[in-house]
A and B are shown apart, each in its own frame.
Chain A
């Protein structure tokens, strides 16, 4: 007796839309079980984790701050995944982008001009793109698996940042803490009030990017090329598109966006470099991209949902003394449920009974 996945003749459009919602609902149920098992009232847990964070203006601000890098990175990753390039290393590209972008305020703290900000953004995007080019070139030239190379480069980037802030870039007046000098005001993004919320430019930029990506993916030949090469490389070649160039394009684009997200976080929130600058935005953005069905508007919504789980994690840590790792567990479960729902849209499960001979392989 065994289980078999059988492809469905056609998939339900309604279910395509409903599946992320079902996945979120299943995650809430799973969260309740996690709370109950750890000896807490599941309803209180759900309230604190999913709802309480958005009941205050401060919570909403935090939500937008956390969602912004997730959305920016998720947009780039979606282009990768749609074109069948598996960039898992956005966290590393974010780190390198943040480092390269921070070079001006760290190495030339006196440099005070309006060009500093745009320069930092451009350098961060170039740095992220260059770092993403490594797995892309390895893939197109040597056929290496980009999942492995991009993932491993994350750790290289993290250790490089660690070394920098403890070594050459350490603030001489920083009491030996592993931090760089605090950026001068021309290198930081200031917040301004929007209807009681204090926001910086990052969130509007993310929103603009969502709109641009939505238009490009749906209405332009480039978006068409991305989707064709992802679904059917042979048909893509027949259309005159190059899968190699697409691999480079997708990696450079997603690397640049990860670098942008990295420098946004550093410029607005931390305003210096330190050993840890991201709570795993680059990895969580993978979940965001898939939860958003690789669709720019979907990614906007998914980014907000996932950002909520970060805040929820902090909330249960302070109010219920639970580990904030619960948030990571629930993010993982959410991805699991999304993928499971997607699989069941495309396939149905069939129970196969009876034994199967070993000689079958010869004719399989």
Chain B
């Protein structure tokens, strides 16, 4: 990613979009505190900030999905009130969402037709889709079913759907979080082309490298306020990060791994897909040894969820010998047998999977540790006092910030709840830890604490398997890296020998060709 020069910002004309002193509060929580923002025509404008900084709220206000409590929005110099997303689209504001809103059973053209005005000619629409998608380097077959498309291709559908409405401003929420590095590069070309044609792009991302590579201007938010505006090409990743976080982020300490005996082993793990849109796991082989962290990279939806369920036993493997914990075959066993054998699991979803939202933290300790013979249950009775001591220990060690000693899980912020959910398992000192998306949606401070805990656990002799979509995180913690693609897993290789390009190729399907000459 080279930073092209000559991206000077022309602020002489009327801004395309101007947000002035917008305030939005939810109860006692101020999400936007007098936020102002100017987007010029034809610029790629980055909106940076940590989770919870107020970016999403601001974007939803611009797109009409939320109404501001105070402040005004000017579109091409005129004050407007954007009452709904439909009104935003009528003005010329389009949005590409992080989570797609496509019907999997319909074709590309049918999905796009749903967003078009009534009476649009279906055949003509198919041709237009093909033309537009080719022109912008987003190749799409109008008649393909969305279910058969990769995540990157689905995003193209969203972008094309947006483009057909001739927007003057496109809002993109973390567009590259679901793409391989190569797909992301392709997207950047499209964005540059759009910008050169005068379309402005409001680009939300945490990925500072790509912001430096393609954006003309950056507005940085922290704790509901705009804290600075800058030209990202004149900043380094470090200075941008500091502006976002407001302080220095703790460095992670990692010594080289001295791997010991194999603790977790997968032998030809084959699991059929559970639904029409699920992913089947195909002949997965993997070993994780004591003392090391192995990371599984991959674009979302390539079988990570299925692999986690097969490892945890929520969806057991067809035979016992496919999953071995410390040599013990458990492939067909349930989650508590595996926990008793020394394994611990942290799923991707914190609320509703890793923790029950309406339960107190102590009850959430019971949730995963009632079957591990640690005295949390005795003769069928739950020992809340014992669970409460675990909460205190985890809180102290992981600095979980909470209002009351034993609050409901849902009242914790994302980062604090994640520290609790990880801490709950690490506290057991498990021999094997399987963790999915350890720091998804977590602020930089909490992420550093969690990653350090994983490294410390491994160095103390446990085997840690991290399933993550965040390559930066993977390179920070992993000793070996494997890549999952459509249910196939590549052989795990030493992290020092892996490059982003190589991982990208494996993500894009290279992992499936393993074993062929």
Contact = CB atoms under 8 A, between A and B. Distances in A.
Contacts of A237: 314, 335
A228 B359 contact: yes
Nearest to B117: A359
Contacts of A232: 352-353, 356-357
Contact of B83 (A227, A228, A354): A354
Nearest to A353: B83
| Residue picked from B28, B84, B90, most chain A C-beta under 10 Å | B84
Contacts of A362: 101, 114-115
B167 interface: no
B512 to A, nearest CB: 29
Interface in A129-186: none
Nearest to A356: B84
Give the size category of A's interface with B: 20 to 34
A284 to B, nearest CB: 28
A343 B187 CA distance: 46
B356 A219 contact: no
Given A221-B377, A238-B368, 11 more contacts: A221-B382, A224-B370, A228-B367, A232-B353, A232-B356, A234-B352, A234-B353, A235-B353, A239-B370, A360-B86, A362-B114
B367 A238 contact: yes
Interface of B: 26-29, 83-87, 89-90, 95, 97, 101, 114-115, 117, 312-314, 334-336, 339, 345, 347, 349, 352-359, 363, 366-368, 370-371, 377, 380-382, 411
A346 to B, nearest CB: 11
Contact of B380 (A220, A357, A359): A220
Contact of B101 (A356, A359, A364): A364
A361 B115 CA distance: 9
A222 interface: yes
15 contacts: A9-B27, A9-B29, A224-B366, A228-B356, A228-B359, A232-B353, A235-B353, A238-B354, A239-B368, A240-B335, A240-B371, A357-B84, A357-B87, A359-B115, A360-B86
A25 to B, nearest CB: 27
Nearest first, the 10 closest Cβ-Cβ pairs linking A and B are: A357-B86, A240-B336, A9-B27, A362-B115, A354-B83, A240-B335, A232-B356, A234-B353, A359-B86, A239-B367
B110 to A, nearest CB: 12
Interface of A: 9-10, 219-222, 224, 227-228, 231-232, 234-235, 237-240, 354-364
B370 A363 contact: no
Nearest to B90: A357
Contacts of B28: 9
Contacts of A221: 366, 370, 377, 380-382
A305 to B, nearest CB: 27
A232 B335 CA distance: 17
Contacts of B355: 235
Given A10-B411, A222-B380, A362-B101, A231 B363 contact: no
Nearest to B377: A221
Contacts of A219: 381-382
Contacts of B345: 238
Contacts of B381: 219-221
Contacts of A224: 363, 366, 370, 382
Given A219-B381, A221-B381, A231-B358, A238 B86 contact: no
Contacts of A360: 84-86
Contacts of B349: 234
B86 A356 contact: yes
Contact of A355 (B83, B358, B382): B83
| Residue picked from A222, A238, A240, A364, most chain B C-beta under 10 Å | A238
Contacts of B97: 363
Contacts of B377: 221
Contacts of B117: 359
Nearest to A8: B27
Nearest to B363: A224
B95 A238 contact: no
Given A220-B381, A238-B368, A239-B370, A231 B26 contact: no
B100 to A, nearest CB: 10
A357 B371 CA distance: 52
A220 B85 contact: no
A13 B11 CA distance: 54
Contact of B354 (A10, A235, A240, A363): A235
Nearest to B384: A219
| Residue picked from A221, A222, A240, most chain B C-beta under 10 Å | A240
A271 B257 CA distance: 79
A141 B438 CA distance: 36
B335 A363 contact: no
Contacts of B87: 357
Nearest to B102: A362
B267 to A, nearest CB: 24
A238 B312 contact: yes
B84 A354 contact: yes
A10 B411 CA distance: 9
Contacts of B83: 354-356
A142 B433 CA distance: 36
| Residue picked from B101, B334, B381, most chain A C-beta under 10 Å | B381
A10 B355 CA distance: 18
Contact of B334 (A240, A354, A364): A240
Nearest to A237: B314
A228 B352 CA distance: 10
Given A9-B27, A239-B367, A357 B352 contact: no
A102 B336 CA distance: 44
Nearest to A222: B380
B84 A235 contact: no
Nearest to A364: B101
A357 B91 CA distance: 13
A219 B117 CA distance: 58
A227 B114 CA distance: 41
A185 B312 CA distance: 58
Nearest to A362: B115
Nearest to A355: B83
B30 to A, nearest CB: 13
B49 to A, nearest CB: 22
Nearest to B378: A221
